[in-house]
A and B are shown apart, each in its own frame.
Chain A
Amino acid sequence: MLKYTNDHEWLRMDGDVATIGITPFAQEKLGDLVFVELPGVGMKLSKGTVAATVESVKAASDVYAPVSGDVLAVNEKLTGEPGLVNADPTGDGWLFKMKLADVAELDTLLDERAYSALTTSH
């Protein structure tokens, strides 16, 4: 079960560890990615701060931390293959993993149905 943000990120929970990426809707809107800047492992991120930057041919877009916590891992494969985000945004194209500081923050996120309603109203 994925959780979503209004800013087109997804989270997959495994205990108190979240894997985070951008949604298929977002990657399609952005178009071909050519560079992904990832946070440093060990960085503390507060919810809503810039965690990563994804760059398409046309523009750079910030990816915000959907929750607060520590960065546990980043997807190093994206350095050489940023296009993985386009090809498989919720799988091999994940961006980073975080250990949650406050599990209650998950309640602020959208479920599949709410997110789908958000993207179809666009």
Chain B
Amino acid sequence: MAALPTTGELKRTPLHALHLRLGARMVEFAGYEMPVQYPSGIIKEHLHTRAAAGLFDVSHMGQIVLRARSGHLEDAAFALETLVPSDMLGLPLGRQRYTLFTNETGGILDDLMVSNRGDHFMLVVNAARKAVDEAYLREHLSDSCAIEPLSDRALIALQGPQAESVLAEVAPEVRTMSFMDVRTISFFGVDCGVSRSGYTGEDGFEISVPAKSAEALCEALLHNLAMAPVGLGARDSLRLEAGLCLYGSDLDETITPVEAALAWTIPAVRRVGGTRAGGFPGAETILKQLADGAARRRIGLKPEGRVPVRHGATLYRAEHDAAPVGVVTSGGFSPSLNAPISMGYVPCDLAKLDTRLFADVRGKRLPVKVSALPFVPTRYKRS
């Protein structure tokens, strides 16, 4: 057997002791000691999330408060729009939006969630990127904005068709929230920031809770048998089924939003002809790609057999071609479909549904078919 993972000197989340009590297997992830799975295992945790509800510790992610020095949120919105291609000025109070930090060549520095919290924006960024993102925000926005990373807060995700009913037992008002709504809600007298969103394709919530109250809140939620703890292993298989990108695998500094099939994050107002067209890093490249198309595109892939086709596998137009035409960026096994699934990048002429390609796995060329994303229908609670 190849080397098995071990843990070294790592940061811990406020839920570390709870994970150990629940029997989690802990692994290193982005400098943190995180639960990859609990005793029931990745497949059961995954299927339980789709059938009932899962509780995920995502406290390793960065929570950053962005506040205009002028006191006017509008000034923070203008500032943020110099770094992202989305509409921040038009983000209503109590709403969340998915966006991207782009670089000068049109690549992606990180993907993030931004919420309008009235007197500030709340940014949730990837764990592995939070130090970079914070430095980047300070470098570019310090003149107009105060940047405050929240280090004393846990972030808990509740995902699945029963997430609402479990959370509503503690705070009934969550039922009135729609997909991408954000509110302050009190659980057991503790104010928390709650968004109706997540990273599984299911309906659900993310709760930003003070570190000292996180464990008690999780324990209360886990008393409900519909709610089971779910580790990072199933979080990854759930997001892949939902066709959602993982930064560092499906997105990086060389991939543009258009190539990544994330052009929907760029509204008309930021495109050519819009009142605030461009003005974000790499705008020239990205706006040109929006008009003319990009050379490659992110697609879903279904391997024809049982062999998972994973990150890094090269893709070929014909079985015996020497030169690859694309690459798999995420791949694994879908517990919901009981079959392997992957995502990757191919030239646009090969991105049509049902195009047959070949993937190299351990020296063998295996047939794969371009497939629609998401692999499993999403079930967001839209208003």
A contacts, CB < 8 Å to B: 7-9, 22, 26, 29-32, 34-35, 37, 53-64, 79, 86, 122
Contact = CB atoms under 8 A, between A and B. Distances in A.
Interface of B: 1-2, 4-6, 25, 36-37, 41-43, 46, 233-234, 236-237, 306-308, 310, 332-333, 335, 340, 362
Contacts of B306: 34-35, 79
A57 B43 contact: yes
Nearest to B339: A34
Contacts of B42: 31-32, 56-58
B308 A34 contact: yes
A86 B41 CA distance: 11
Contacts of A8: 1, 4
Contacts of A37: 307, 362
B1 A31 contact: no
B2 to A, nearest CB: 5
A58 B1 contact: no
Given A32-B41, A35-B308, A58 B332 contact: yes
8 contacts: A8-B1, A22-B1, A26-B4, A57-B332, A57-B333, A59-B310, A61-B2, A62-B2
Q: Which residue among A54, A56, A57, A61 has the maximum number of chain B CB atoms within 10 Å of its CB?
A: A57
Contacts of A55: 307-308, 333
A52 to B, nearest CB: 10
Contacts of B332: 57-58
A35 B308 CA distance: 8
B275 to A, nearest CB: 46
B289 to A, nearest CB: 33
A60 B1 contact: no
Contacts of B41: 31-32, 86
Contact of B37 (A22, A31, A61, A63): A31
A29 B308 contact: no
